[in-house]
Amino acid sequence: MPEKKLRVELLTMTPDALELTYAAFRQCYHAGFVADMWPRLLNGDIEKEKQAEFVSKVLESGHDSPIEHVSFTFAVEGISRACSHQIVRHRIASYSQQSQRYVAENDMDFIIPPAIRRIPEARERFEKFMEEVGSAYRDLREILVAAGRESKANEDARFVLPQAAETKIVITMNCRSLMHFFNLRCCQRAQWEVRAMAHLMLEKCKESFPAIFRHGGARCEQLGYCPEADRFACGRYPTLKELTGQK
C-alpha cells in the first residue's frame, strides 16, 4: 500500500476556445449574427491579440456568462476520497470517478496529510493503520468470495476503507465554473489537498487560455482585499473592514 502523489493532466478543452468566447461575447453587443463572423475568426482575419483583449476587458466588467461555452477536462490521480468529496460539491460539472465496487483495493494506495508526515510518531501510527485496513479488506474480500459473494465482494469489503484511500477522477467544468472553483479552492482557507490540486489545474488553464484564466485564482487576488470575515482572514490581503477603516 504505497503513498500516492498528486498528478493533474489536462485531457482536452473546447476547440477554438478564444474564437468561441469572443463570438459569444460579441453576440451580446453586436447587432449582426456572429455566425457570419465565425469564418473570419477561424481564418485569423481578426487578430487573436485583439480577441483576447476584448474578452479580457469585458470579463473585467463582471460580465462572465459567455465563458460557459468553453470547457476543460482534467484527469486527476493521487487524491484522497476525502478530497474527492469536496470536489464533487461543485455541482456545475461532470465527474467520472474510479469505482471501489469494480476496482479491487487489495493493494490500496493512500494519501498522508503533511501534518502527519512531518511528525515521525504520527506517520508511523498512520502507516500502521493503513496496513491494518489493507489486511482487513483483503481478509473480508477472501471470506466473502469463499461465501459465494465473489461478484459483490469488493462493494461489501470497501466499507472498511478509509478516507485516505487514493482515488482517480475525470473532471469536466466550463470556464465559469472553473473560475468559481479557483476562487474558493485556491484560497488559503481551502484544505491543503484540494488547494494543491486547484493550483495545478489553474496553471494548465493559464497556459491554455490566458485571456480568461489570467484573472483566475483566490478571490482576494481579484478584489485586492480578503472577502472573509476578520477571524477567517489569512493576512495575505487586508480585509474590507481593514481597508475601509470600519470598526
Instruction: Point out the residues that are catalytic.
Output: 185
The torsion of the CA quartet 152, 159, 95, 211, rounded to 10 degrees, works out to -150
What order do you get walking across the sheet with 94-97 strand by strand?
Answer: 7-13, 71-80, 166-174, 94-97
Please report how many Cα atoms fall inside a 13 Å half-sphere around the Cα of residue 185, on the Cβ side.
23
Helix 34-43 vs helix 17-29: angle between axes, to the nearest 10 degrees? Answer: 150
CA–CA gap between residue 184 and residue 188 (Å, rounded): 9
Residue 210: CA count within 13 A, CB half-sphere? 5
Query: What are the start-end ranges of the E strands in 49-180?
Result: 71-80, 94-97, 166-174
Contacts of 205 (CB under 8 A, 6+ apart): 10, 72, 178, 212, 213, 216
